[in-house]
Structure 1
Amino acid sequence: MDARKLLLLFLLAATLLALGVVGVSFYFLRPLKAEPWVEGALKGTGLEVREASYGLELSPKNPKALFAFYPGARVEPLAYAPVLAPVAQAGYQVVLLKVPSGIALLAKEEALKAKAAHPNLPLVVGGHSLGGVAAADLAAREKLPLILFASYPEGDLSRETFPTLALYGTEDGLLPREEAREKAKRLPRNARIAFIPGLNHAGFGAYGPQKGDRPAQRPREELWQEVQEEVLLFLESLGWDTPPPPQALR
C-alpha cells in the first residue's frame, strides 16, 4: 500500500474517531431541559423571578433565608421550579444555580456567589443527585444546613452535626432504596432521612424521564407536595421564622 493510501486511511480513521467522540459527548452531556410549561407557570406565583449571573432567583417579599440549589447532572435549573417555587412562596428566597456544562462539581462555590448578593440572609444549600454531592461538600466546609434530593455526600460526614435533610424516592432506578440507605450512613448525625413512596429519580424535577430510572407510581403533583412539606418543615425547624428587618435587605 502506497503512502497516499495510508494517509487517506489515517485521515478517515481520525475523522471517524472524532465523530465518535463528539457523538458520545453529545449523548452524555446533552442537557435535560425543563418541560415547556414550567416557565409560564412561574408567572402566576406572585414571586419576583430574576436571572442573575449565578442562577435563577425566585424571590418572595421579605425573605427569611436563602436556599441555593444545585441541579442534577445536565438538568436545566428551571426544571426544579415547580418543586421549589412553593418553598419560595412560603418566604424563602430560592436560587436555582447555573453550573458549567450542567455539572455542579465544576462550580461548588456558586452558592457563595448567591450569598454574596444577599449577605443579610442566612444560607441553606441543597441539590439533586450529582448537584447534592456538590452541595454536601460546600455544607461540610462552611457548616451550612443541607438539603439533599436523591443524593449523598462524597465523603463520610457522620461525625458532623450541621442540620441535614435527605429525601429519596422508593422508585428511584438510579439510586435504589438499599443503596440509598447504605450511602445515607455518610450523612451528618441526626440527619432526617425520608423515602417518598412512589417517587422516582427524575421526579424531583420537571424534565421528563431519565435513562435507567423507574416510572413514578403516584401523580407527581402529590409527590411534589410531599417534598415541599418536608423541605418547609426542615427550613422552619432552623428557627428563621421571622424575616430580617427591612433595612437589612437594602
Structure 2
Amino acid sequence: MDGKRLLLLILAAALALGGALLGVAFYLFRPLKAEAIVQDYLRGPGLSLKEATYGFELLPQSPKALLAFYPGARVDPLAYAPLLAPVAQAGYGVVFLKVPSGIALLGKERALEAKKAHPHLPLVVGGHSLGGVAAAEVAAGEGLPLLLFAAYPESDLSGIRLPTLALYGTEDGLLPPEEAKEKARRLPQGARVVFIEGLNHAGFGAYGPQRGDRAATRSREALWEEIRREVLLFLESLGLDTPPPPQAVR
C-alpha cells in the first residue's frame, strides 16, 4: 500500500471516529426539552407568563413571595411547570430560571437577579438535581428558605438552620434512596426530608426519560400531586402571606 492511500485511510478513520465521538457527546449532553403538556399548565387562569433575562416568570395577580427555581442539568426550565404552575395559582410567584448551557452552577446569580426585579417579595430558592446544588449554595449564602428536588448541598450545611424541604424518590436511578439518605445529613438543621414512593429522578419534571434513571411505579399525575402538596405545605409554613416592608427585605 502506497503512502498516499495509507494517509487517506488514516484520515477516513479519524473522521469516522470524530463523528462517532460527536454523536456520543450529543446523546449524553443533549438538551432535555419540556414536553408539550407544560403549555397547558402555563396558561392557567389568573397567571401571566413573562420572559426575562434571568428566566420565565409565572406570576399571580398579588404574589405572596417569589420562588426562584434552578433546573436540573440540561433540562428545559419550563419542564417543571406541571409541578410549580399550581404553586403560582396558589399565590406564589414562580421563576423558572434560565442558566448558561443548561448548567445551574454557571448561573447561580440568576435567583438574585429575579429578586432585584421584585424587591418587595420574599425570596425562596429551589432546584432539581444539579440545580439544587446551586440553590443550596445561594440559600446558605443569603439566608433563604430552600426547596430541593432529588438534590443535596455540595457542602455540609448541618451546622446552620434554614427552612428546608428536600424531596426524593424511591425509584431514583441517579440518586438512589441509600445515597440520598446519606447526603441528607448535609441538610440544614430541622430540614423536612420526604421520600415519595414510586417516584424516579425524571419524575420531578416533564421532559421524558433520563439516561441512568429507573422507571416510576406510580402515575406521574399522582406523583406530581403529592409533590405539589408538599411544596405548598412548606411555603405556607414560612408565613409569607404578607410581604415585609421594603426596608426589611435583604
Same fold (TM over 0.5): yes
| SS of residue paired to 1:131 | helix
- Distance (whole Å) between structure 1 residues aligned to residue 85 and residue 41 of structure 2: 10
Alignment of 1:133-148 (within 5 A): 133-148=133-148
| SS of residue paired to 1:44 | coil
- Distance (whole Å) between structure 2 residues aligned to residue 45 and residue 105 of structure 1: 33
| SS of residue paired to 1:216 | coil
Amino acid of the structure 1 residue aligned with 2:60: P
- Distance (whole Å) between structure 2 residues aligned to residue 50 and residue 162 of structure 1: 30
TM-score (norm 1): 0.92
Greater Cα shift, 145-154 or 30-39: 30-39
Amino acid of the structure 1 residue aligned with 2:100: P
Report percent identity of matched pairs. Answer: 72
Alpha-carbon shift at residue 15 of structure 1 (Å): 2.2
- Distance (whole Å) between structure 2 residues aligned to residue 244 and residue 145 of structure 1: 15
| SS of residue paired to 2:56 | strand
Structure 1 residues 41 and 240, CA, compared in 2 at 3 Å: closer, same or farther? closer
Deviations 1:144-171 (A, max 9, x none): 1110000111111111111111001111
TM-score (norm 2): 0.92
Deviations 1:47-66 (A, max 9, x none): 10111111111100111111
- Distance (whole Å) between structure 2 residues aligned to residue 47 and residue 33 of structure 1: 23
Asked if the contact 2:122/2:243 (under 8 Å) is kept, the reply is no
- Distance (whole Å) between structure 1 residues aligned to residue 45 and residue 15 of structure 2: 50
Alpha-carbon shift at residue 20 of structure 1 (Å): 3.0
Q: Does 1:25 align with 2:22?
A: no
- Distance (whole Å) between structure 2 residues aligned to residue 73 and residue 158 of structure 1: 25
Q: Does 1:185 align with 2:185?
A: yes
Unmatched tracts of structure 1, length 5 or more = 246-250
- Distance (whole Å) between structure 1 residues aligned to residue 10 and residue 117 of structure 2: 53
| SS of residue paired to 1:35 | coil
Structure 1 residues 142 and 10, CA, compared in 2 at 3 Å: closer, same or farther? farther
Asked if the contact 1:29/1:101 (under 8 Å) is kept, the reply is no
Asked if the contact 1:152/1:186 (under 8 Å) is kept, the reply is yes
Deviations 1:196-244 (A, max 9, x none): 1121111111112222222222222221111111111111111211246
Asked if the contact 1:83/1:228 (under 8 Å) is kept, the reply is yes
Match of 1:74 in 2: 74
Q: Does 1:94 align with 2:60?
A: no
What root-mean-square deviation, in Å, do the aligned CA atoms of Structure 1 and Structure 2 show?
1.8
Asked if the contact 1:64/1:244 (under 8 Å) is kept, the reply is no
Which ranges of 4 or more aligned residues in structure 1 deviate by more than 4 Å?
none
- Distance (whole Å) between structure 2 residues aligned to residue 10 and residue 163 of structure 1: 60
Asked if the contact 1:124/1:144 (under 8 Å) is kept, the reply is yes
Amino acid of the structure 1 residue aligned with 2:79: A
Deviations 1:92-111 (A, max 9, x none): 11001111221111111111
Amino acid of the structure 2 residue aligned with 1:80: Y
Alpha-carbon shift at residue 16 of structure 1 (Å): 2.9
Asked if the contact 2:44/2:89 (under 8 Å) is kept, the reply is no
- Distance (whole Å) between structure 1 residues aligned to residue 41 and residue 139 of structure 2: 31
Alignment of 1:76-225 (within 5 A): 76-225=76-225
**How many equivalent residue pairs?**
246
| SS of residue paired to 2:43 | helix
Asked if the contact 1:55/1:97 (under 8 Å) is kept, the reply is yes
- Distance (whole Å) between structure 2 residues aligned to residue 44 and residue 126 of structure 1: 22
Asked if the contact 1:127/1:147 (under 8 Å) is kept, the reply is yes
| SS of residue paired to 2:218 | coil
Asked if the contact 2:122/2:244 (under 8 Å) is kept, the reply is no
